[in-house]
Amino acid sequence: MHNLDRRELMLGVGGLSWSISANMTVTAAHRERPFAYMMNYVTRDDFPLMKEMNVNTVLVELDKNGRNWRATYEAAIRHDLLIVPLIWGQDQSIWRWNAPAKEWELSDKRYPRSIGARFIRFLLDNPRYRDQTFAIYSFHEPLAQPERTGPSRLKKFYQQIHEEVFKGQDIRVYGEDMTFVWPRGRECLTGVLDYEIHDCYPFANPDRGRYRLFLPQGHYGGATSDLEKVLDLQRQTIELQLKNISNARPAKNGRRPRLILILQAFVDPTEKGLWDRMPDAEEMRTVADYMLDKLGDRLAGIAWYSFRQAATHYTQWLHKDRYDEHHRDRWQVVAEIGKRLRSQSGSAVPMQGFAP
């Protein structure tokens, strides 16, 4: 049976406070997370720069062998950065389903060879690192393979995390592309995630125009040069997703997932007319300001994707492509948006110029 990928589906083939906190090292049980101003795919060497950019949360890829786990968390603590830890494995996940036991291999006592169980034990043995974890990264596009990672198994993962391995502890689950677009996404509205991303990737090189529309029906539409129209349709789409989540029965722990909006800062040339143009600095500012103005109090955060090269076929990303074609500084825009968020809580960091 052919499983549609997310691109095919999108093409139609098939009030909490949102101020950012200055100090992210929090140890209180069941603390509310700050509004996440997030950068995806950074390295430990980037942490000082992330602090300068007013970022407070980073998605970081960790080694499967565990060699850099402790050093990464210690650096995050020093720079007041919360972490979404990502460890890639087969099918973009380290988590393994044990069919005979009908459970995920999260216990190092029962599954001593499991990388996922080892990482869970690492957090359990190091409460400081657990508290520096914004959320555990679960799955990327799991419903592309519903026979392997369908709704019932996703719910089992969430239940094991909250009711078994971290029972009574403050931990959250983060995932990508589960409740929207996919045919079985409605089954995952609650009881699967605490944080879910929503992509905003409008920058493209279609035959006509500069943007690709994304429609509330859950797929891409035509091309346009009207950025205001693009953003209005994206807002409508997000509001629909928020409504669907709000109308769903909460999880057993009373939670519903909150959305983190992922903003495009990469080029994927393999997707002709989709995601194949890097936004210039002013476009980045316009999109971020619009989304914060219209939706900020209903989101859990916004993020830039990506700082480092997140996929081998990407040709542009923020670390490499700091300046746009007009030599405007994309990094400065990231920092200024972060300063705006910090100002909401009276904790603005003085702006600094970055070394060219």
127 occurs within a structural domain: yes
351 occurs within a structural domain: no
Q: What is the pLDDT of residues 38-93, one digit of tens each?
A: 999 999 999 999 999 999 999 999 999 999 999 999 999 999 999 999 998 766 68
pLDDT of residue 25: 39
1 occurs within a structural domain: no
303 occurs within a structural domain: yes
pLDDT of residue 18: 42
pLDDT of residue 323: 98
Please give the average per-residue pLDDT across 301-329, as a whole number. 97
pLDDT at 164 over 60: yes
Alpha-carbon gap, residue 22 to 350, rounded angstroms: 12
Name the one residue in this structure whose structure tokens are 């905003």.
200
Instruction: Report whether 85 contacts 136 (CB < 8 A).
Output: yes
The helix (run of H) or strand (run of E) holding residue 78 is helix 69-78
Mean pLDDT of the chain: 89
pLDDT at 135 over 50: yes
pLDDT of residue 33: 82
pLDDT of residue 56: 97
355 occurs within a structural domain: no
Cβ-count burial of 257 within 10 angstroms (0-12 exposed, 13-18 middle, 19+ buried)? buried
- How much of the chain exceeds pLDDT 70, in percent? 87
Please give the average per-residue pLDDT across 267-285, as a whole number. 95
Alpha-carbon gap, residue 117 to 109, rounded angstroms: 9
Please give the average per-residue pLDDT across 213-238, as a whole number. 95
pLDDT band at 30 (very low <50, low <70, confident <90, very high): low
69 occurs within a structural domain: yes
193 occurs within a structural domain: yes
Query: Which candidate, 15, 96, 24, places its Cα nearest to that of 338?
Result: 24
Q: Dihedral, CA atoms, 297, 196, 105, 33, nearest 10 degrees?
A: -20
Q: Give the CATH number for residue 195.
A: 3.20.20.80
Q: What is the pLDDT of residues 194-224, one digit of tens each?
A: 999 999 999 999 988 999 999 998 889 999 9
95 occurs within a structural domain: yes
Q: Supply the range of the domain harboring residue 83.
A: 6-343
pLDDT band at 238 (very low <50, low <70, confident <90, very high): very high
Name the one residue in this structure whose structure tokens are 């509330």.
216
Q: Name the packing angle between helices 330-343 and 281-295 (round to 10°).
A: 20
pLDDT at 234 over 80: yes
pLDDT of residue 187: 95
- Counting the structural domains of the chain, the total is 1
* C-alpha torsion sign, points 198, 241, 19, 250: negative
